């Protein structure tokens, strides 16, 4: 079933150009030249508005594959009068490999992505080895990688995978935690916490000593949503 597309006319929304521009300077979308941070899956914008308000010295790209999520995020950003957030409708892997330059991100945040709980769908999960390697290529030295999920097995899989990957260092004293002081909680997170369901947090960082030439450029991978730019499914 195809969902009706909402026209987004917000000044903080920027449609991606149809012709990919590898290495494009998306930092130019902002009035101030500041370190660039990416939130993948902004949902209704609750998390990004909190974070951007706390960190005015950073610029934030908030992306979501769903038109409605982008629309709601834009509304929240405008109401908060934030000049350091720009919203784009994009699939994460496509955005990274087509529109961003290597080592251009100060941080990547991924909060409660689709867990694809059925075993036969696990290969549809975003945060797997291939994606983590891609993220490493676009994080600057010392750049932060944050991941949270309400699904314990997803958290455990990612926590087991990251130590095997050269280039990442754990910022925490454990593989994962269920509390991360100072971390903004989205409406989705708060709802599950109120129900007694924990949120699992992971915080790694790109090793500042990692030589750029040791990271191979990622393969272009749009994921399983091959038609994401043309159609949106409920």
Write down the domain spans for the chain. Answer: 34-214
SS3 content of the chain, % helix, strand, coil (to 5): 30, 20, 50
191-206 per-position pLDDT tens digit: 999 999 999 999 999 9
**What confidence category does residue 5 fall into, taking pLDDT thresholds of 50, 70 and 90?**
confident
For residue 160, CA distances in Å to 19, 165, 210 come to: 38, 10, 21
Instruction: Report percent pLDDT > 70 for the chain.
Output: 90
Model confidence at 144: pLDDT above 60: yes
Give the pTM.
0.92
Classify residue 25 by its DSSP letter: -
Please say whether the structural domain 34-214 has been given the CATH code 3.40.50.150: yes
Q: Are strands 59-64 and 168-170 parallel, antiparallel or unpaired?
A: unpaired
The whole-number pLDDT of residue 222 equals 56
DSSP string of 90-138, one letter each residue: --HHHHHHHH--TT-EEEEEEES-----SGGGGGG-SSSHHHHHHHHHH
Which residues are identified as catalytic? 114
The whole-number pLDDT of residue 212 equals 85
């Amino acid at each position: 079933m195809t969902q009706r597309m909402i026209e987004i006319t917000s000044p903080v929304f920027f449609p991606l150009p149809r012709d990919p521009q590898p290495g494009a300077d998306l930092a130019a979308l902002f009035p101030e030249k500041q370190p660039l941070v990416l939130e993948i899956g902004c949902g209704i914008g609750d998390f990004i508005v909190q974070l951007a308000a706390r960190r005015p010295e950073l610029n934030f790209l908030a992306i979501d594959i769903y038109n409605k999520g982008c629309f709601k995020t834009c509304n929240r950003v405008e109401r908060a009068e934030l000049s350091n957030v720009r919203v784009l409708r994009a699939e994460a892997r496509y955005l990274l490999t087509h529109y961003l330059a290597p080592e251009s991100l100060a941080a990547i945040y991924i909060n409660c992505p689709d867990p694809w709980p059925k075993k036969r769908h696990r290969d549809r999960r975003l945060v797997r080895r291939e994606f983590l390697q891609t993220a490493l290529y676009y994080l600057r030295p010392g750049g932060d990688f944050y991941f949270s999920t309400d699904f314990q097995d997803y958290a455990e899989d990612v926590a087991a995978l990251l130590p095997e990957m050269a280039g990442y260092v754990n910022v925490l004293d454990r593989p994962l935690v269920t509390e991360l002081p100072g971390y903004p909680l989205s409406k989705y997170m708060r709802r599950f916490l109120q129900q007694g369901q924990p949120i699992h947090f992971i915080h790694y960082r790109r090793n500042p000593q990692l030589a750029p030439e040791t990271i191979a450029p990622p393969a272009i991978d749009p994921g399983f949503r091959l038609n994401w730019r043309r159609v949106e499914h409920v």
